[in-house]
Chains A and B, each alone.
Chain A
């Protein structure tokens, strides 16, 4: 390759992560074993809502190989699981205890746990635990009247309001008002690796360990530690390979706390590996919201105000994310458009379904669907096309940076940079929009139901407030980069190595990135909110600068040169101009043992805001209700792409999940609260047949001014507007603006829509 030796940022180099994963040497949670370990199996409520009158574990305890059964009485000393983000005080009484006490509130709620010699025996014994539950009437819809949570509380823990400007006045002055009711179905991340946790009490060190950690190991270490009365020194979390995260994996769940408590109590290693049915009823669900939105517009279709009231179905309890999803939905709804006055009123409602948390583009998949449906409806109202209506309302580049006057995740929303109209043009050009319109018109004349849709969005990324990186050049010349970030399979080792390599002047393959080990670095915020490339990336750049200057200073002494005249190229300290002797970094490390170490941090109070445009073209089969996606274009401005291939990978993978939520995936329940989507045969994730080839356009037109590399996160832009873009395309194919009002557009639903005249 003709690339300069020190150039790594912006190159699609192969991943450092791949070799162990390709050769079967990955170490996922289920691969962790300790001698003498006990298997844990969770006994789950088969009833959606009921009063727990008694548990009879006698038959289970009598079975060979069963060591113990725990019920609430055994864990009554543990507090409910705390909030990690957006923890409104009024939500606290609705947190989940690790085992149910007086009530059960969803099918799948942990009621007891069995500890046994192996997983087969534990599962047999769990089936023998008898539960006496008096059924109560479940609340199954967030849009129904709230019901009782317990004797004193109702199922609407809070109503959040976010607003700015004079909404009422805008509606009084409007030329027209557009009103819609829209709903997004219940779906979730569903990583291919189910959850798992192994608690181990290391008696030699007096240290409790949890293996199988993911996403936010340091926060979980501190929080579970507090719940169990451990200090941060005698409790450590260890992340191995993680089989997909998507927001839902790695949050503190009841099972994580129980394996730790039990390891401590029994002084035995406790291993819990979730099965798929459990995963589909017990791990966080997400997305389910109903919005009643209206827009005040002028004659040209320009937005004067938006007023949205929505109902967020959070399932049975408030878990670690507390109000995060509805908060983000409300805060990010305005998107890339100028909205002079705005009000969102979000009802946080509990139902007798699996509790919810974040899932890739949380709150935004929902509110982008709602906003973009609204924009399409405005276009229909004033009689212009869907591209023109967007151009009339987009924030211009001259408005940047743009303060939205709203807060979320403890930050003011200020769009840091962006040229939304430019990206719209680029996306339409990539999609061949004009030609596509002609083809569609021609095919439609031949009786085909084909159409195109477009959706725009602003994402957020790079959530602070800090990240630390520690670097050390080892005597063998290898470089260790330790971070409190986490890997969920997205390729952070490679991306961090690239930033370090270019800044320091070494080959990226010489860098070993250590993440997710709480005993290796004091603090860290993990991997969520598309934060790692931005926050850890900039901390890496800073630590690398620091290490470089240290190395040059130390080398200058030995080489009898001025540090200013030295450079590091491919792991070798050279004199500028290349004349004279050089020195390998490994030799410097040998000469100065323990000195080639540098640490630095990046702190940021503001998020950075990538933005994108998706264009979809679909064909609808009115007979079967099937939607074929014939073309899909994604344009995303990420400020600067550290590794374009990995960014494309994020976007392509995000699209598949977005398609799942738009067309196939849905957690359904019957009226009594029985979950109906409990296997991969009824919770339908897209396969290679359903995900079409897509065209990805990564642009770097608006680097972030908030970090020197201009980075923005790329993890969620493939998912965010997919429901919106496909809905827009289906409307067009049916030639019925506003036909799609809810997701997923399953074949049954689409057939019903087609049958309506």
Chain B
């Protein structure tokens, strides 16, 4: 074990002053130290994407980033998508298009898709499938996820 470092994580606009070992992953810090358990851990080596969050406007695998690296950056997680009872268009599209079943991979897909569409609102269908193929889902067979993200993209462009 090594010394813990005092850092502040800013998640969905709220500051969390925490003390973490340098080796602690951002995913663990978000979940365990900041109590935001909507971000899920599926593989811990950056393949499945369940832990995707948005750090300074880019989708990031939070299992591949150390918590100390995220200090001072703006972190967005699934808990920050909706405003009050109003779902983000991406969340609403997943509900409308049966884009989730067990829901474990869903926060990762939501953050991935939101992060990408905010940067590239007019992304082509082909590129979108490439982006979405960076996360794994085991329930839906992906077609309804693709449908959901396309629907949300149209809504977000409005």
Contact = CB atoms under 8 A, between A and B. Distances in A.
A120 B67 CA distance: 14
Contacts of A690: 133
Interface stretch (A10-18, A43-51, A403-411): A10-18
A275 interface: yes
Interface string A628-649: 0000000000000000011011
Interface in A6-64: 14-15, 17-19, 21-28, 30-31, 64
Contacts of A191: 102, 104, 138
B41 A30 contact: yes
Contacts of B48: 192, 276, 680
Nearest to A687: B133
A685 interface: yes
B5 interface: no
A572 B101 CA distance: 32
Contacts of A17: 103
Given A192-B48, A192-B136, A680-B47, A652 B143 contact: yes
Chain A interface size, as a band, is 35 or more
Contacts of A645: 98
Contact of A192 (B44, B104, B129): B104
A65 B139 CA distance: 38
Contact of B23 (A18, A120, A688): A120
A24 B132 contact: no
Interface string B35-57: 01111111111011010000000
Interface string A332-372: 00000000000000000000000000000000000000000
A681 B47 contact: yes
Interface stretch (A95-103, A322-330, A419-427, A485-493): A485-493
Contacts of B36: 24
Contacts of B37: 24, 26-28, 30-31
Interface stretch (A83-91, A241-249, A508-516, A741-749): A241-249
A275 B98 contact: no
Interface string A661-686: 00000000000000000011100011
A489 B91 contact: no
Contacts of B98: 15, 645-646, 648-649
A691 B77 contact: no
B41 A679 contact: no
Contact of B100 (A22, A28, A694): A22
A122 interface: no
Contacts of A295: none
A21 B136 CA distance: 16
Contacts of B41: 30
Interface centre among A27, A65, A120, A490 (most CB of B within 10 A): A120
A687 to B, nearest CB: 4
Contacts of B143: 652, 691, 693-694
A190 interface: yes
A679 B45 CA distance: 8
Given A15-B95, A15-B98, A23 B78 contact: yes
Contacts of A688: 129, 132-133, 142, 145-146
Interface string B137-152: 1111111111000000
Given A679-B43, A680-B48, A689-B130, A21 B103 contact: yes
B95 A14 contact: yes
B138 A687 contact: no
B118 interface: no
Contacts of A18: 94-95, 100, 103
Nearest to B110: A22
B138 A657 contact: yes
A276 B45 contact: yes
Interface string B7-31: 0000000000000010110000001
Interface in B62-87: 77-79, 81-82, 87
Contact of B106 (A22, A65, A120, A654): A22
B44 A694 contact: no
Contacts of B110: 22
B96 interface: yes
Nearest to B36: A24
A194 interface: yes
B141 A23 contact: no
A276 B42 CA distance: 7
A725 interface: no
Contacts of A127: none
B114 interface: no
Interface string A500-520: 000000000000000000000
A491 B44 CA distance: 28
A206 B140 CA distance: 41
Contacts of A473: none
A478 interface: no
A10 to B, nearest CB: 16
B59 interface: no
A596 interface: no
Contacts of B141: 652-656, 691, 694, 718
A15 B98 CA distance: 8
Contacts of B43: 276, 679-680
B105 interface: yes
B1 to A, nearest CB: 7
A276 B63 CA distance: 12
B107 interface: yes
Interface in A237-268: 241-246
B40 A193 contact: yes
Contacts of A718: 141
A275 B51 CA distance: 14
A589 interface: no
Given A24-B38, A276-B44, A691-B141, A14 B96 contact: yes
B42 A653 contact: no
A121 interface: yes
Nearest to A654: B141
A64 B102 CA distance: 38
B42 A194 contact: yes
B95 A22 contact: yes
Contacts of A190: 138
B45 A243 contact: no
Contacts of B82: 22-23
Nearest to B109: A688
Best-buried of B24, B41, B42, B101 by chain A (most CB within 10 Å): B101
Contacts of A24: 36-39, 77-79, 81, 107
Interface in A181-213: 189-194
Nearest to A241: B103
Interface in A698-753: 718
Interface string B114-141: 0000000000000001101111111111
Given A26-B38, A192-B105, A653 B140 contact: yes
A488 B23 CA distance: 33
A652 B95 contact: no
A365 B98 CA distance: 26
A654 B110 CA distance: 22
B104 to A, nearest CB: 3
Contacts of B146: 688
B27 to A, nearest CB: 11
Contact of A21 (B23, B44, B47, B100): B100
Contact of B142 (A28, A243, A245, A687): A687
B102 A687 contact: no
Contact of B103 (A22, A30, A65, A121): A22
A655 B142 CA distance: 10
Please name the 4 residue pairs, one residue from A and one from B, whose CB atoms are nearest each other, closest first: A24-B38, A489-B102, A21-B103, A243-B104
13 contacts: A15-B95, A22-B87, A22-B95, A25-B38, A120-B23, A244-B101, A276-B45, A653-B101, A653-B140, A653-B141, A681-B45, A688-B146, A689-B130
Given A30-B40, A687-B136, 11 more contacts: A15-B98, A21-B103, A22-B95, A26-B37, A194-B42, A242-B102, A244-B102, A276-B45, A490-B101, A656-B141, A679-B47
